Amino acid sequence: MIALSSNPGRYDESITVEKDLQISGDGRAEDVIVRSADAPAICLMAGGCRISNPTVNRVAAQHTPEADELTAAMHIEHGTPTIDNCVISSNVGDGVIIRGNADPTLRGNRIRDNKATGVSVTEQGRGTLEDNDISANKAYGVMAGQGGDPTVRGNRISGNEGPGVLVLERGHGTFDGNDISTNASAGMAVSGGSPAVRANRIHENGNYGVVVQKEGRRTFEDNDIFDNETCGISVMSRGEPALLNNKIRGHGAGGVFVPWNGRATLTGNDISLNTHYNLKISFAATVTQSGNRTAD
């Protein structure tokens, strides 16, 4: 692998990497700035390149009618690159878009203040997101859809204006051990997707801790869901999750709500100390329960 070191300064250009190349910024990430006004600041097309320690900015005077991937700060569509210890933001789109056959590793980055979503994984993109700060984005923290299947582990996902995590139709993903908090909408929203969600702390979000709808499926296991504004978990129309061994407590309205046409399996959950109800099931919902504990 070829290694290049970037001196402190601002580089006003769009960089496309098509070889196994390591680009490392000297000093703090804030000292080396790669900035582009008309394309992603960095586009990764190589098998195993590495980007370490710069600030990556996509800047423009206003949102343009370009395709979404052209408004991202970083666009990854091939290979297994590693991106670590970067500061990533776009004032017109997403921070990072992962798509196609890309399977990158993003570790220890600050992905924040983006005009849209922090990290979007789509069109069969994969990737591992680990120990990143994904916060203060205008849309979502992390989005998976259209076959996107990331592994999202040990991240701090907070202060986003939409849900911290959104999984859309045909979106998948494993979400493990993240701290998901203070997002203005929900901590996590699943709308037709099928993620595996385990051992996360989902708390102090502006609406629901978790909302599942439109045939959203898979298992939510061993999560600590607490102190969200209205409800811990809401299973809306045609949602169908399995809730296993979660702690669901301290919510402004209730613990688990399954309204009309919702379906759920609840096993071994501790649902307690919620303001108005611990478990509320509509007469038209279908719920299987076993070994749950509820207490006021």
| Residue at 49: amino acid letter | C
Q: Tell me: the pLDDT tens digits for 227-252?
A: 999 999 999 877 889 999 999 999 99
Q: Max CA-CA distance within the chain?
A: 65
CA-CA distance, 129 to 151, in Å (whole number)?
6
Residue 1 pLDDT > 50, yes or no? no
The token pair that represents 55 in the structure block: 């600030």
Q: How far apart are CA 35 and CA 267, in angstroms?
A: 50
The predicted-structure confidence for 3-60, as pLDDT tens digits, reads as follows 445 667 788 889 999 888 888 877 777 788 899 998 999 999 878 899 999 999 999 8
pLDDT category, 226, cuts 50, 70, 90?
very high
Q: Name the percent of the chain lying above pLDDT 70.
A: 94
Task: Provide the pLDDT for residue 67.
Answer: 47
d(CA 5, CA 37): 23
Torsion over CA: 243, 245, 251, 255 (sign): positive
User: What torsion, rounded to 10 degrees, do the Cα atoms 238, 244, 245, 249 define?
Assistant: 0
Please say if the pLDDT value at position 2 is more than 50.
Answer: no
Over the chain, what is the mean pLDDT? Answer: 91
**C-alpha torsion sign, points 137, 71, 79, 18:** negative
The arithmetic mean of pLDDT across residues 76-98, rounded, is: 96
Q: What is the rounded distance in angstroms from the CA atom of residue 277 to the CA atom of residue 259?
A: 14
The pLDDT score that the predictor gives to residue 29 is 75
pTM assigned to the model: 0.94
The pLDDT assigned to 132 comes to: 98
10 Å CB burial of residue 280 (0-12, 13-18, 19+) is middle
For residue 287, give the amino acid letter: V
CA gyration radius, the chain: 20
Average pLDDT rounded to a whole number, residues 278-293: 94
Domains of the chain, CATH where assigned: 72-295 (2.160.20.10)
- Give the model's confidence band at 295: pLDDT under 50 very low, under 70 low, under 90 confident, else very high: confident
Q: What percent of the chain has a predicted confidence (pLDDT) above 90?
A: 74
Q: What is the pLDDT of residues 180-197, one digit of tens each?
A: 999 999 999 999 889 999
SS3 letters across the chain? CEEEEECCEEEECCEEECCCEEEEECCCHHHEEEEECCCCCEEECCCCCEEECCEEEECCCCCCCCCHHHHCCEEECCCCCEEECCEEEECCCCCEEECCCCCCEEECCEEECCCCCCEEECCCCCCEEECCEEECCCCCCEEECCCCCCEEECCEEECCCCCCEEECCCCCCEEECCEEECCCCCCEEEECCCCEEECCEEECCCCCCEEEECCCCCEEECCEEECCCCEEEEECCCCCCEEECCEEECCCCEEEEECCCCEEEEECCEEECCCCEEEEECCCCEEEEECCEEEC
Distance CA(248)–CA(218), nearest Å, equals 18
- pLDDT tens digit string along 115-126? 999 999 999 999
More confident position, 90 or 101:
90
Task: Give yes or no for a contact between 231 and 210, defined as CB atoms under 8 angstroms apart.
Answer: no
pLDDT, tens digit, 9 for 90 and up, residues 134-176: 999 999 999 999 999 999 999 999 999 999 999 999 999 999 9
Nearest to 197 by CA among 143, 135, 152, 148: 152
Q: How confident is the model at residue 61 (pLDDT cuts 50, 70, 90)?
A: low
